[in-house]
Amino acid sequence: MSKCSPSGDPVGPAPTPTPQVVVTNEMDFWLTKGNQSVVLQKQTSILAFGATYNTYANIEVDDSKTFQTIDGFGYTLTGGSAQVINQLNTQKRQELLKELFGSDANSIAISYLRISIGASDLNAAPFTYDDLASGQTDMNLDNFSLAPDKTDLIPMLKEIVAINPNIKIMATPWSPPVWMKDNNGFIGGSLKPEYYAVYAKYFVKYIQTMKAEGITIDAVTPQNEPLHPGNNPSMLMIALHQADFIKNHLGPAFKAANLATKIVAYDHNCNKPEYPIAVLNDPAANPYVDGSAFHLYEGDISALSTVHNAFPNKNIYFTEQYTSSTGSFDGDLKWHVKNVIIGSMRNWSKTALEWNLANNASFGPNTPGGCTTCKGALTINSSDSFTRNVGYYIIAHASKFVPAGSVRISSNFSGNLNNVAFKTPSGKKVLIVENDGNTSEIFNIKYNGNWITTSLEAGSVGTYIW
């Protein structure tokens, strides 16, 4: 007679439970969509490496092949940007600066800033640090003063340095004091040869005075957009004159003052790689020049590689690109991530900088004749309200995940999937992907023989971290 349970049913061995396969997430994925339905959001999908074959395209990341070391991602902190951010109330302002420059979970960890020596066209009015009455000169720079920037810019830089002591700062003039120029005006003109030496001293004094304020200038360029003398302020400085200024005045002056600040040539569009090449070809200027800087209002981003290939021991910097008040979020996100972030990095740049950090609701302030359509990464609406614009997300997709000291590593292109990869100082791998096509794409991220399968909608940007 079989043994029965109290209910009369036969008792058999207990069924073996099916073991639950716990898949742990091995890759973080942050997403921004062109339609703004998702902006810089960490996705909850579980991404785990495997080796099950599929026919999707591969982006293969190889950290055995390394390229340039990254100095950082960020913006130009224009005088106007500092002025409008200072219109926020104390709490809102402090929260914003921590979000921009901090390193906690809610921050985007901006690691590089560009500032103007004197006014840029996104100041309310043009000025330099040694403005004199017409007809006067100041060969000893006795009148030199940072006073015009002590209300907004310099106090803000001190706060930023307190939040991120390692932030790197590049400084560039839009114009020297007008008494040094052949037209005695802020717009255009050229530096008179008899003032080359005093202008070099002006740079030295600027770097030393900023240092005394607790602000280290990592690099300078001799002139913003030296071939665009129509801005306010601006100055024409052809390659021959820039080489002369660097080799006979600026370089020796930095050396005599024992300054470690780098001198970076050019700082203008990708359509004229022959300009930085001419400066670097000058055998007396070359030793003083750390590298060259580029914008992309004209030309192609591959010009950075043209200059790198001519002088592989010199650095490359991408220092400015603006988003326009007339642009669209989806169009600007695609173009800027493709060119400014991925394009500059794949062409040897150590930095990728967008233009102004902030402006007011009417795209000001700006000088008379300065840019009226430059849309900052932020719009400051009132004392307690600001909007994050497309420029914020363009930079954040890199700055938040790729700290200074990261190294670019190899990754292959696959159709419409523009991408660039990095290894961070802590050993993490970061891949930034932009789907430049018109349809959603499924693809593999392959690393060390295994891969993760993921997808990106058309016009979307993803940053993947593992």
**Contact (Cβ atoms closer than 8 angstroms) between residue 416 and residue 433:** no
Q: What are phi and psi of 204, to 5 degrees?
A: -60, -45
Q: Taking a C-beta distance cutoff of 8 angstroms, is the pair 192, 179 a contact?
A: no
Separation of alpha carbons 375 and 84, rounded Å = 13
Q: Are residues 233 and 121 in contact, defined by beta-carbon separation less than 8 angstroms? A: yes
- Among residues 264, 196, 278, 263, the alpha carbon closest in space to that of 235 is found at 196
What are 1's two structure tokens?
């007679």
CA 284 to chain CA centroid, Å, is 30
320 is annotated as an active-site residue: yes
Q: Using alpha carbons only, give the angle 419, 425, 427 rounded to the nearest 5 degrees.
A: 75
- Contact residues for 139 (Cβ-Cβ < 8 A; gap 6+): 198
Q: Residue 271 contacts by C-beta under 8 Å, 6 or more apart in sequence?
A: 298, 299, 300, 303
SS3 labels along 350-390: EEEEEEECEEECCCCCCCCCCCCCEECCEEEEECCEEEECH
Please report the sign of the dihedral spanned by the C-alpha atoms of residue 293, residue 225, residue 120, residue 78.
Answer: negative
Distance CA 341, CA 346 (A): 9
Tokens of 86: 């200072």
Structure tokens at 247: 């080799």
120 touches 174 (CB < 8 A): yes
The residue annotated as part of the active site, out of 225, 354, 434, 441, is 225
Of 320, 354, 434, 441, the catalytic one is: 320
Task: Report the catalytic residues.
Answer: 225, 320
